[in-house]
Structure 1
Amino acid sequence: MSWFILILSGLMETAWATALAHSDGFRNVKMVVIFLVALVLSMVGLGFALRSLPVGTAYAVWTGIGAIGTATLGMVFFGDPVTAGRIVCLVLIVSGIVGLKLLG
């Protein structure tokens, strides 16, 4: 159950980072509300997951999911550049997360 909560928390990190980027310096109230709700859910979920998962592994997985999700959304929906180098870097992040899960 902790891994499921951690994955959802990582997805919430993607949501808050994306909402923050689209908040127009905290002037877009809808995006600010989404940012705040997702931020709280992300942190609370991480806190629950840390009850039974090692902090180093859990934090790395949480931030990795957030980074991969945010970068992917940027490339697919928001015009961020899609290059071979960026894709390779995302694959390396995924490899690190899988390695931490399997070895930790």
Structure 2
Amino acid sequence: MAWLWLLAAGACEIVGVVGFARISHGHRASGALVTGLAFSGGLACLHIAMNSLPMAVAYGVFTGLGTVGSTAIGILFWGDSAHPARLAWIGGVVVAVVGLKLSM
């Protein structure tokens, strides 16, 4: 169950970053609301997950999910670079997150 909370925390992290993007694109009120709610929810879910998972694993997976997810959103919706080297480094983050999960 802790892993589901951790996935929810990562999803909230991605939504929070989308809120930041909304703020930077001129939608200040809605972006701030999305950012505040999403990051609050993400930290609450992370807290619950850390009741059962080691802190280093939980936080590493949480930040990895946020990094990979926000990069994917940026590429798909905001025209961020999908340069092969960038994708390779993101692949490294995925490998690291899977390694943290498998090392438990």
On whether the aligned pair clears a TM of 0.5, the verdict is yes
Q: By how many angstroms is 1:25 displaced?
A: 8.4
Query: How far does the alpha carbon of each residue in 1:42-97 deviate from its partner, in whole angstroms, 9 at most, with x for none?
Result: 00000000001000000000000000000010011101011101110111100000
In structure 1, runs of 5+ residues without a counterpart are none
Partner of 2:46: 46
Shift in CA distance, 14/87, structure 1 to aligned 2, threshold 3 Å: same
AA in 1 matched with 2:4: F
2 CA distance for matches of 1:99 and 1:24? 34
2 CA distance for matches of 1:21 and 1:69? 14
Q: By how many angstroms is 1:35 displaced?
A: 0.6
SS at match of 2:23: coil
Identical-residue share of aligned pairs (%)? 29
Q: Is the 8 A contact 2:22 2:30 kept in 1?
A: no
Partner of 2:88: 88
2 CA distance for matches of 1:17 and 1:40? 12
In structure 2, runs of 5+ residues without a counterpart are none
2 CA distance for matches of 1:97 and 1:13? 15
Dislocated runs of 4+, deviation >6 Å: none
Compute the RMSD of aligned alpha carbons.
1.4
Q: By how many angstroms is 1:26 displaced?
A: 8.2
Q: When the two structures are superposed, what TM-score results if normalisation uses the length of structure 1?
A: 0.94
1 CA distance for matches of 2:80 and 2:66? 16
Q: Is 1:73–2:73 an aligned residue pair?
A: yes
SS at match of 2:86: helix
Partner of 2:5: 5
